Amino acid sequence: MASPVPLKVVKDIEQPASEAPLYEIRQKIYPRAVSGWFAHWRLGLVVATQLLFYGLPWLTWNARPAVLFDLASRKFYILGMVLWPQDFIFLAGLLVISALSLFLFTAVGGRLFCGYACPQTVYTEIFLWIERKIEGDRARRMRLDGAALDADKLLRKTVKHLLWLCVGLWTGITFVGYFTPIRTLLGEVISLSPGPWETFWVLFYGFATYGNAGYMREQVCKYMCPYARFQSAMFDRDTLIISYDAKRGEPRGSRKRGADAQSLGQGDCIDCTLCVQVCPTGIDIRNGLQYECIGCAACIDACDEVMDKMNYPRGLVRYATQNALDNRWTSSQMWRRVLRPRVLIYGAILLAIAGSLFVAGAAQVTVPMWPVPMTL
């Protein structure tokens, strides 16, 4: 019988302290509800974008859907225009206009699209609204998640996820309604007889909405969206961004309401952390510009509310440029630099392309553009 092979004990090799893990373990963020000027703007744009998205497939134009991308017939119906494959130049023009608009808005005001009109932001706001109505605001949601499972928690979680699924599936149906007449599609869904590709895309888009807005949320903005990666190439020192005025706010510290900050040797920031609690990506804007900031301005509303209670002037956190903060410029001085040659060039090119596309499109119209009966 062969003798056993001796085993050699090898000590674990310790990893150097400088080596960090590739992925950060997600800490769930519980954004606090906030009200204010920018919150009203976000709410208005959520309503406007969803009325447009959900309502457009139901409009009819001359006895057909006002907007329909009929892939089977290779025809795109957009109001009074009928686009054929040879008219693909118009779609290319729309993409160029969208890209230039994004460059223009970013050069002027940073990530305005992300904060107010991006589908990820819009649906996260909708899902958060449902979550707050069922589970309560930030503190109550945190307590509920930390509590043991009981009948109340199970009921609230079940109702929340059912409503999320309903919103997601209706979103999927609406999306497919841009490619199949939505009245026909809805009849097929009710009778459980939709086609295979309609079924796939309704479920795919619906569950993507459910997963992205319900679970992934800020992870999409931080790790998946490419816009956060190349935004720094479009920012400069005269771009309006959400900024913390460190010269005014530091040194920060807590105090009684109405206390004189200068007599205490402190800045105007009372270190209440409300700007962090309302942030949907969980960052501290007082640390300066960060790629996770989506420009939603929730921290501005929260800080302005605190400044009002402390009888301090608003604007500790505000839209400003780096040059304006460093040089203590007035609003008029700042805005003169915002409308700089780069922005004017973007605007001129955008107007030229949009005007050319409109003129070319008007020549392709096969039915009168106005007046045309439009019905629901």
Does 231 have pLDDT greater than 60? Answer: yes
Structure tokens at 196: 């295979």
Q: Is the peptide bond before 280 cis (omega within 30 degrees of 0)?
A: no
pLDDT confidence band for 2 (50 / 70 / 90): low
pLDDT confidence band for 339 (50 / 70 / 90): confident
User: What pLDDT is attached to residue 368?
Assistant: 44
Q: Are 66 and 183 in contact (CB under 8 A)?
A: no
Strand, helix or coil at 126? helix
Rounded distance, CA 42 to CA 115, Å?
Answer: 8
Q: Is the peptide bond before 251 cis (omega within 30 degrees of 0)?
A: yes
Domain parsing of the chain, residue ranges: 234-338
User: What pLDDT is attached to residue 200?
Assistant: 96
User: What pLDDT is attached to residue 19?
Assistant: 61
User: What pLDDT is attached to residue 372?
Assistant: 46
Instruction: Give the chain's mean pLDDT.
Output: 87
CA angle at 269 for the pair 265 and 275, rounded to the nearest 5°: 165
Does 337 have pLDDT greater than 90? Answer: no
- When pLDDT is averaged across residues 129-151 and rounded to a whole number, the result is 95
Does 301 have pLDDT greater than 90? Answer: yes
- When pLDDT is averaged across residues 114-124 and rounded to a whole number, the result is 94
Rounded distance, CA 369 to CA 376, Å?
Answer: 18
Q: Are 156 and 141 in contact (CB under 8 A)?
A: no
Rounded distance, CA 57 to CA 178, Å?
Answer: 6
Does 99 have pLDDT greater than 50? Answer: yes
Q: Are 124 and 132 in contact (CB under 8 A)?
A: no
The least confident of 227-236, 253-262, 270-279, 328-337 is: 227-236
Helix (H) or strand (E) holding 320: strand 317-320
Rounded distance, CA 7 to CA 188, Å?
Answer: 68
How long, in residues, is the chain?
376
The least confident of 23-37, 79-93, 343-357 is: 79-93
DSSP state of 224: I
Structure tokens at 126: 């909708």
Q: Give phi and psi for 270, each to the nearest 5.
A: -95, 5
DSSP state of 266: -
User: What pLDDT is attached to residue 196?
Assistant: 93
Q: Is the peptide bond before 371 cis (omega within 30 degrees of 0)?
A: yes
Rounded distance, CA 195 to CA 319, Å?
Answer: 49
pLDDT confidence band for 159 (50 / 70 / 90): very high
Rounded distance, CA 83 to CA 90, Å?
Answer: 8
User: What pLDDT is attached to residue 247?
Assistant: 93
User: What pLDDT is attached to residue 235?
Assistant: 87
The least confident of 25-29, 185-189, 262-266, 330-334 is: 25-29
User: What pLDDT is attached to residue 184?
Assistant: 93
Does 126 have pLDDT greater than 90? Answer: yes
- One DSSP character per residue, 76-116 reads EEETTEEE-GGGHHHHHHHHHHHHHHHHHHHHHHSSHHHHH
CB neighbour class for 101 (10 Å; exposed up to 12, middle 13-18, buried from 19): middle
Does 9 have pLDDT greater than 90? Answer: no
Does 209 have pLDDT greater than 80? Answer: yes
pLDDT confidence band for 361 (50 / 70 / 90): low
User: What pLDDT is attached to residue 201?
Assistant: 96
Angle between helices 196-211 and 182-190 (to 10 degrees): 90
Instruction: Please write the tens of the pLDDT for every residue from 48-89.
Output: 999 999 999 999 988 889 999 998 888 888 887 888 888 778
